[in-house]
Homo-oligomer: A and B are copies of this chain.
Amino acid sequence: MSASTKIRVAVNGYGVIGKRVADAIARQEDMTLVGVADIGIDWRPRVATRKRFRLFGAASEDADAMRRADMQVAGTLEDLLGESDVVVDCTPKRVAAKNVETYRRFGRKFIVQGGEKHEVTGHSFVAEASYEGAIGRDSTRVVSCNTTSIVRTLEALKRAGLLRRARGTLLRRATDPWESHQGGIMNTLVPEESIPSHQGPDAQTVDPDLDVITMAVKVPQTLAHLHYWSVQMTRHAEKEEVLDAFRTSSRIALVRMDQGLSALNVIKELMADLGRPHDDLYEVALWADMLQVKGDELFYAYMVDNQAIVIPETIDAIRALTGRETDASVSMKRTNAALGIGDLRV
């Protein structure tokens, strides 16, 4: 692929993640969104057409149903793959496994989401930790929102030589806002049945050296996840040294309680005020003034916008797979600039 042509990208599945990935691709100078594939005929895929994205039916039956419902359809997923260099799979868990066979049959590079197992692609992706390993591969897996946040933060501590082991409690929102009329929990807390929860081992698919154990619980809100960490450091470090370690990541945003950014809803409101699409918080928002060091122990908490945090990673993964950019930091800078990342502080 010549450096002057744009990477042609397909998005399969136009749901909560797919629509954000499509928007993000459309904002990259070195990429073209060829189109999006989906199955429904309700309001959601119709929005794709409103945004002038080409819409494809996942199968020919889907395309036919869309046409019968007066929707503009450009063809099927197979047609879409025919015009694309890479496909980002944003379909639900069960469906993705079958899609992978199709992508392989068409010889297309592909990216799956964190809901799939590591083995599906043999590579798990977080830009700051495993970009290099993805260069030129046929496929990779962008890990889940929770795991992405864990890897971003713990790798920052590791780069500073501070990380010995990390123990986390993860408060998981119960459902996405757009589905909160169909499911969710009400006025209760629902602990995950087993300890440890799966996020620790999942982080180790990106970096096997991480000593991390997590416990998880579902909480009755729709905005974002919230992680609390108790970290054993290799030695005592001053608070400012720890904050500097986190500052080495362009995708960790230090926020402050004493500026009024004191709860999940307030930080989401700031995102809306900044004009971010869907009020998306792509960064891990970590409270700088709340963070505390006690001897060689470190305590902190951060917010994870589970719909948004994997979007920049997905964009970087596209560049890595195609080999168009072999320097992770260059790719991340381009992605950050296109999405407004780094611009959070007020």
A185–B215 CA distance with the chains assembled, in angstroms: 24
Q: Is A264 a contact partner of B219 (Cβ separation < 8 A)?
A: no
Q: A4: CB under 8 A from chain B?
A: no
**Which residues on the B side are within 8 Å of A19 (C-beta)?**
273
Q: A278: CB under 8 A from chain B?
A: yes
**Which residues on the B side are within 8 Å of A191 (C-beta)?**
226, 257, 262-263, 287, 290, 301
**Which residues on the B side are within 8 Å of A221 (C-beta)?**
186-189, 219-220
Q: Is B174 a contact partner of A270 (Cβ separation < 8 A)?
A: no
Q: Is B187 a contact partner of A50 (Cβ separation < 8 A)?
A: no
- Contact A189 to B279, CB < 8 A, known contacts A196-B292, A221-B220, A230-B230: no
A269–B178 CA distance with the chains assembled, in angstroms: 6
Q: Is A186 a contact partner of B190 (Cβ separation < 8 A)?
A: no
Q: Can you list, as one digit per residue, whether each of A273-307 has a CB less than 8 Å from chain B (1) or not (0)?
A: 11101110000000101111010010111000000
* A interface, over-half SS: mixed
Q: Can you list, as one digit per residue, whether each of A160-171 has a CB less than 8 Å from chain B (1) or not (0)?
A: 000000010101
**Which residues on the B side are within 8 Å of A260 (C-beta)?**
40, 42-44
Q: A74: CB under 8 A from chain B?
A: no
Q: Is A301 a contact partner of B194 (Cβ separation < 8 A)?
A: no
A112–B178 CA distance with the chains assembled, in angstroms: 34
Residue of B50, B182, B226, B257 near A346 (CB, 8 A) is B50
Q: A328: CB under 8 A from chain B?
A: no
**Which residues on the B side are within 8 Å of A278 (C-beta)?**
272-273, 279
Q: Is B171 a contact partner of A213 (Cβ separation < 8 A)?
A: no
- Contact A217 to B171, CB < 8 A, known contacts A19-B273, A185-B181, A279-B272: yes
Q: Is B274 a contact partner of A47 (Cβ separation < 8 A)?
A: yes
Q: Is B226 a contact partner of A43 (Cβ separation < 8 A)?
A: no
A327–B83 CA distance with the chains assembled, in angstroms: 51
A300–B272 CA distance with the chains assembled, in angstroms: 31
A to B CB contacts below 8 Å, 30 in the list: A40-B260, A42-B260, A43-B266, A47-B273, A50-B346, A169-B228, A171-B189, A171-B219, A177-B269, A178-B265, A180-B185, A180-B187, A181-B262, A181-B263, A181-B265, A185-B186, A185-B263, A187-B187, A187-B223, A188-B223, A188-B263, A188-B264, A193-B262, A193-B289, A195-B290, A195-B292, A195-B300, A213-B230, A215-B299, A272-B279
For the complex of A and B, 8 pairs with smallest distance between CB atoms: A181-B263, A42-B260, A184-B186, A178-B269, A188-B265, A169-B169, A195-B292, A180-B186
